Amino acid sequence: MKIGNATVISFINLKGGVGKTTSAVNVAATLARRRIRSGWKTKPASVLLIDLDPQSNASLTLLKKEHYKVIDNEDKTLYKLFSNEILRNDDEESIDINEIRVSPIEGLNLDLLPSSLKLIEIQDKLVEYSRYYLSSTDILFNALNKLKNPENKAYTHIIFDCPPSLGLITLNGLSLSRYFIVPTLLDAYSYWGLDKIVECVDRLRRCKASCLVELLGVLYSKVDTRATIENNKWDKEFQSWEKEFDEWLSKNIRRRGDESIIFNSRIKSSDIVRKAEAENCPLIEYYPTDPHLKKQQQEHQQEWEALVSEILERIDSRNNKRRSKIDQTDLQLF
């Protein structure tokens, strides 16, 4: 599925505490400061972050607690979208998603669709959801299809922070994503969940012809630079996992010959991210006055900049390969 020309990316892991939300928020914010290629020109990126996780950590990272409480109490969250869709009659319109969209940081081309703990109630109800013209995994697509940013321009990127589950809310995000990224710790518990994620995506693609989502990469996050031996051990495990499933991945998720599924960029564990989150902002918008903290912020933000550059390069590479394949097919027709 496509949302205009936006590049849609889901961040997902079945394990909590792996830096999934931190990755989604900081990638979205760093992208929102970029200029991106549009044909032969460049233009400012315009990013929409969608918080699908009922824990609402992405929302709480970007919004002051008092502001978020007002939004949640007034049901101006994704809960309203899903609950309205479940309850409305067929002749009633879906809600206007502009009602729940917020622009959390002035001057940053980043908008947010906030989440709510009440989304937990929605998960079970979606199982019984039935409309002959709309699937329970297409609710978000239906709502987002015509959405533009506050300046009435199309978003260049949409980022999903998915729950640590493979329920119907997650499938709503994956169904309309072009790519998914798996942030992971270098440990055993994160390692074991990878198979389930790619198997779920494969099943979704087989059952839903309009779903084109594919793995963009595995991201090592919250890397403890002091644990060199442990990091190397689990790095080798992830590398062996890639080799073991190479044939399966090539057939179902990516073509043989693509880049490694593991990003070269790594995000180190750092207190500076928590300090930024305590100030309700992504790292790129955190401006400490203390020289030591300022240096930490600059150094750690460079890691996010490198990651975003690698993400954009991978997407460009895959787009070029698709165009080349289409051109070759066209040539064969003549």
Write down the domain spans for the chain.
7-332
Chain segment 168-189, per-residue pLDDT in tens:
999 999 999 999 999 988 776 7
Averaged confidence pLDDT in the chain: 85
pLDDT of residue 166: 87
pLDDT at 15 exceeding the cut of 90: no
pLDDT of residue 90: 76
Query: How much is the pTM?
Result: 0.89
Question: Would the CA dihedral through 189, 225, 302, 40 be positive or negative?
Answer: negative
Percent of the chain whose pLDDT exceeds 90: 50
Chain segment 142-171, per-residue pLDDT in tens:
888 767 777 777 899 999 999 998 889 999
Is domain 7-332 in CATH 3.40.190.290, yes or no? Answer: no
For 208, the 3-state DSSP assignment is: coil
Lowest average pLDDT, out of 89-103, 138-152, 186-200, goes to: 186-200
Task: Name the residue with higher pLDDT: 297 or 153.
Answer: 297
Q: Angle, to 10 degrees, between the axis of helix 20-32 and the axis of helix 271-278?
A: 70
What are the CA-CA distances from residue 57 to residues 17, 36, 62, 183, 261 (Å)? Answer: 11, 28, 9, 16, 27
For 159, the 3-state DSSP assignment is: strand
**Greatest Cα-to-Cα distance within the chain, rounded to the nearest angstrom:** 66
The segment with the largest mean pLDDT, out of 37-41, 104-108, 227-231, is 104-108
Residues 58 and 99 sit within 8 Å (Cβ to Cβ): no
Q: How far apart are alpha carbons 307 and 60 in whole angstroms?
A: 23
pLDDT of residue 210: 85
For 249, the 3-state DSSP assignment is: helix
Lowest average pLDDT, out of 146-155, 219-228, 241-250, goes to: 241-250
pLDDT of residue 244: 57
Residues 27 and 308 sit within 8 Å (Cβ to Cβ): yes
DSSP string, 74-120: TT-SHHHHHHHHHHS-TTSPPPPGGGT-B--STTSSEEEE---TTHH
User: Stretch 59-85: mean pLDDT, rounded?
Assistant: 95
Which of 326, 313, 284, 3 minimizes the C-alpha distance to 140? 3
CA 312 to chain centre: 14
User: Stretch 208-219: mean pLDDT, rounded?
Assistant: 89
For 53, the 3-state DSSP assignment is: coil
User: Stretch 240-255: mean pLDDT, rounded?
Assistant: 56
User: Stretch 207-235: mean pLDDT, rounded?
Assistant: 79
Residues 88 and 25 sit within 8 Å (Cβ to Cβ): no
pLDDT at 250 exceeding the cut of 60: no
pLDDT at 256 exceeding the cut of 50: no
CA 244 to chain centre: 26
pLDDT at 333 exceeding the cut of 70: no
